[in-house]
Amino acid sequence: MADPACITEELRLLREQLRRFVAEEVMPHGDAWEREGRIPRSIYKLMGDMGLLGMRHPVAYGGTDMGPVASVLFAEELARSSYGGLPASVLVHTDMSSTHISRRGTDEQKRKYLPGIISGDTIVAIAVTEPGAGSDVAGMRTKAVREGGEYVINGSKIYITNGVHGDLIIVAARTDPTAKGSRGISLFLVEKGTPGLIIAREMDKHGDLSSDTAELFFDDMRIPAANLLGDEHKGFYAIMDNFQNERLVLAGSSIGASAKAIELTLDHVRNRQAFGATLWDLQATRQRLGMLATKVSAARALTYSCAELETRGIDCVREISMAKVLACEVHVEVVNACLQLHGGSGFIRGTPIERMTRDARIQTIGGGATEVMLEEVAKRM
């Protein structure tokens, strides 16, 4: 696929670096990470040493502040590894959680946490989703009550990526019980090991097996008032704002995985003999893959266009919602079609296309389900 104009020479060099990293450090070990259910801390450290974890953080704290286009490219290349758990874990760390600290943290909070986040020593999670409040953030029930110089938090969270092995969790809780709907929610910095923080279980998922996912409980968990992140009662707006990062990189990861699935399938159909010819010799095969490649190219163009708009500070909630829908829905379509073209071999556990098909299914759910995204589009029509 041709690069959009926003891919500079600097970003092409970044892409080359990422492809070497994936080839040398991910592909030989990806199956073991799937069995272990986690991305090793050494990988975060290596990525930190390579300068890959600070692209959305200020230079003053050790980051490179490369912006949304770099984030999309980063997501795309990680997903091309074919191991969905890698972008799932790393992108939560880089673009879905720690960006709250860069955008809304105090100078003290930034000095305390960002260097470790950027170096890979501190792994970050964000805890917003609850059993009864997923895409409906306004339905949140976890509560934080101010008592002197502390907040006392009670409640629960579910489906929290990096929740098992993370070191720092950004927790959303309701601080004004009288406020309706989305009002009265705040964000807090919670360190692993805080009394009252309970990692209830590590969840056994359908896909993204190398990404750890936890259910969390907060039982009279006390944290210093200084751990309030951003303005009190304004957390909902912070969450909605950061969703643009999240949805962009989810679209980027879907594009990367889709492109990889087509690449693997092209190799398969050009070599698979059937009825005296290869599968590629069948017109139906060629046209199906051609249509899939067309859709991926369209999703890629829209996603990078959104990243450019975001870089320029232009309100593009509608467009990013469109990109998230298109890229993720196409992703599911692509892997299902590619598995079909692999035949029985695509149904065998441990083959790349089988794994990618399982991993893809979360993309139309996480970060805002397709139906929620379409409502965001419709509200702005």
How far is it, in rounded angstroms, from Cα 381 to Cα 379?
6
Residue 137 has pLDDT above 90, yes or no: no
- Convert the pLDDT of each residue in 206-250 to its tens digit: 999 999 999 999 999 999 999 999 999 999 999 999 999 999 999
Taking CA atoms, 281 is separated from 288, 291, 338, 346, in Å, by 12, 16, 16, 20
pLDDT the model gives residue 265: 98
Residue 134 has pLDDT above 70, yes or no: no
Q: Does domain 236-379 have CATH number 1.20.140.10?
A: yes
pLDDT the model gives residue 178: 85
Mean of pLDDT values over 25-38: 96
CA atoms within 13 A on the CB side of 309: 17
Beta carbons within 10 angstroms of residue 274's beta carbon: 12
Taking CA atoms, 238 is separated from 46, 133, 230, 252, in Å, by 30, 17, 8, 22
Mean of pLDDT values over 299-311: 97
- Convert the pLDDT of each residue in 34-91 to its tens digit: 999 999 999 999 999 999 999 999 999 999 999 999 999 999 999 999 999 999 999 9
Q: How confident is the model at residue 202 (pLDDT cuts 50, 70, 90)?
A: very high
How far is it, in rounded angstroms, from Cα 303 to Cα 105?
28
How far is it, in rounded angstroms, from Cα 97 to Cα 161?
10
pLDDT above 70 covers a percentage of the chain that reads 99
DSSP of 238-294: HHHHHHHHHHHHHHHHHHHHHHHHHHHHHHHHHH-EETTEEGGGSHHHHHHHHHHHH
Q: Does domain 9-119 have CATH number 1.10.10.10?
A: no
Q: Which residues are catalytic?
A: 246
Rounded to 10 degrees, what is the CA torsion of 80, 249, 35, 369?
-120
Residue 133 has pLDDT above 80, yes or no: no
Q: What is the mean pLDDT of the chain?
A: 95
Judge whether 227 and 151 are in contact, CB under 8 Å.
yes
CA atoms within 13 A on the CB side of 330: 31
How far is it, in rounded angstroms, from Cα 79 to Cα 122?
22
How far is it, in rounded angstroms, from Cα 122 to Cα 349?
33
pLDDT above 90 covers a percentage of the chain that reads 93
Residue 181 has pLDDT above 90, yes or no: no
How far is it, in rounded angstroms, from Cα 371 to Cα 373?
5
Where is 330: in which H helix or E strand?
helix 317-342
Per the listing, tokens 């990422």 go with 18
pLDDT the model gives residue 211: 96
- Convert the pLDDT of each residue in 112-123 to its tens digit: 999 999 999 999
Locate the domains of the chain by residue range.
9-119, 124-232, 236-379
Return the bridge partners of 224, or none. 150
Do 9-119 and 124-232 have matching folds?
Answer: no
Q: How confident is the model at residue 337 (pLDDT cuts 50, 70, 90)?
A: very high
DSSP of 56-109: TS-GGGT-----HHHHHHHHHHHHTTS-THHHHHHHIIIIIITHHHHHH--HHH
How far is it, in rounded angstroms, from Cα 168 to Cα 223?
13
Q: How confident is the model at residue 1 (pLDDT cuts 50, 70, 90)?
A: confident
Backbone conformation region of residue 277, classed left if phi is above 0, alpha if psi is from -120 to 50, else beta: beta
Mean of pLDDT values over 337-349: 96
Judge whether 175 and 146 are in contact, CB under 8 Å.
yes
pLDDT the model gives residue 23: 98
pLDDT the model gives residue 139: 80
For residue 285, what are its two tokens? 């095969």
pLDDT the model gives residue 254: 98
Return the bridge partners of 273, or none. 278
pLDDT the model gives residue 354: 98
CATH topology for 124-232?
Butyryl-CoA Dehydrogenase, subunit A; domain 2 (2.40.110)
